[in-house]
Amino acid sequence: MGSSDLNLKKSWHPSTFKNQERVWKEEQKRKEEDKRIAEMKKELAEERQLQDLQRMQEDAGTKKRSNKLDWMYASPNANLNGSAENNMEEFLLGKKNVDELLRAKQRQEIVSWHTYTHRKNTLLSIATASRHRGRGKQIYLVQLQCQQRT
Parse the chain into domains and list their residue ranges.
Answer: 14-64, 97-150
Q: Which pLDDT score, from 0 to 100, does residue 33 have?
A: 96
Q: Which pLDDT belongs to residue 139?
A: 66
* Closest CA relative to residue 84, chosen from 107, 106, 92: 92
The pLDDT of residue 125 is: 59
Q: Which stretches in the chain have pLDDT values below 50?
A: 79, 132
Q: What is the pLDDT of residue 122?
A: 63
Which pLDDT does position 102 carry in this prediction?
Answer: 75
pLDDT score recorded for residue 30: 97
pLDDT value of residue 144: 72
* pLDDT at res. 129: 52
What is the pLDDT at residue 36? 95
Half-sphere exposure of 63 (CA within 13 A, CB side): 11
